[in-house]
Amino acid sequence: MPTRAQLEVFHAAIASWVLAEFGAQSAVRAIPDADWWRSKDGTKIDFELVSKDYLQNEFALRSAGGRVSIFPFEKEPFYPRRIDPEFRFWFSWAESWRRVRQAEFDFVSAGLTVFFGPVGEQQKTQLLRAEWDALFRPPPPTRDQDVGQPHWHFDVPVVVGDFMFRNTVDDALNSLGDSMGSFATDEELYSALDLSGVHFAMGGWDNSGAIGANWRRQTGRDCDRLQEWIHRSLLYLKHQISASGSYVKPR
């Protein structure tokens, strides 16, 4: 398990990537920013990537609650400048560790969250998350141990803006007539298709074991695998989001 010094090296690496790839001055800090390494054994410590440029701070409200610092994937607006306000894709980073014996820290969870929205407004659309939870935690467990680790979550309901799918659902409801009324309304059926609680596994298909278990990976006893995962996930998201400008259009 990493020590304070190893965590600080890991956090410095994240800030270095953010500067190199996104041009933003940042730091990973404990929430609250106190002497976290002096906490009692068993204490859970939350960290968040925050901006060091206080004049350019941007924030977003997470779907699960709470305000987080965010950073743009691209320096330029996503849409043409004629559209006001400027819309961009943003990301946040957060992680949690638990202090254990001899001032070492046990990994709990980590995640990237992607948002879309205008500059200067906290109310942005939360699109997706890339998360990694520890497989084995002190009891009682706080996660389903059969889900893939790491994994994606898609937070935008699949029916939003999908005109063809809505028409298909509407046609099905009309063909069922009054019999559907006792089961669900149109609105309830649409909301039931929210996939935000589904864990879409990112890797591990070559592992042995049962379904779910064979999609799980350990982070390891140091920060190396977690460090590689966050770096490559950020670069991949940036690459895909940069390419998306050719087919995503404003309404």
Domain that includes residue 175, residue range: 159-193
> Same domain, yes or no, for 163 and 129?
no
Distance CA 226, CA 2 (A): 12
> Same domain, yes or no, for 51 and 117?
yes
> Same domain, yes or no, for 120 and 176?
no
> Same domain, yes or no, for 230 and 186?
no
Q: What is the pLDDT of residues 215-251, one digit of tens each?
A: 777 777 778 889 999 999 999 988 888 776 544 444 4
> Same domain, yes or no, for 110 and 211?
yes
**Residue among 243, 7, 228 at smallest CA distance from 107:** 7
- The per-residue b/e assignment along 200-223, b for 16 or more CB within 10 angstroms, e otherwise, is ebbebeeeeeeebeebbbebeeeb
Please check whether residue 39 is in contact with residue 95, taking contact to mean a CB–CB distance below 8 angstroms: no
> Same domain, yes or no, for 92 and 171?
no
Asked if residue 150 has a cis previous peptide bond (ω within 30° of 0), the answer is: yes
Q: What is the pLDDT of residues 196-219, one digit of tens each?
A: 777 777 876 666 666 666 777 777
What is the percent of the chain where pLDDT is above 70?
Answer: 68
Q: What is the pLDDT of residues 156-207, one digit of tens each?
A: 776 544 444 555 555 544 554 544 444 445 554 444 466 677 777 787 666 6
- Give the 3-state secondary structure percentages of the chain, helix then strand then coil, rounded to 5: 30, 25, 45
Q: What is the pLDDT of residues 92-105, one digit of tens each?
A: 999 999 998 778 99
> Same domain, yes or no, for 140 and 220?
yes
> Same domain, yes or no, for 182 and 151?
no
> Same domain, yes or no, for 73 and 32?
yes
Instruction: Give domain status of residue 170, yes or no.
Output: yes
Please check whether residue 1 is in contact with residue 105, taking contact to mean a CB–CB distance below 8 angstroms: yes
Please check whether residue 88 is in contact with residue 98, taking contact to mean a CB–CB distance below 8 angstroms: no
Instruction: Give domain status of residue 249, yes or no.
Output: no
Q: Per the structure, how many domains does the chain have?
A: 2
Task: For the full predicted model, state whether its pTM sits above 0.85.
Answer: no
Q: What is the pLDDT of residues 96-152, one digit of tens each?
A: 999 987 789 999 999 999 999 988 889 899 999 999 988 765 544 555 567 778 888
> Same domain, yes or no, for 46 and 92?
yes
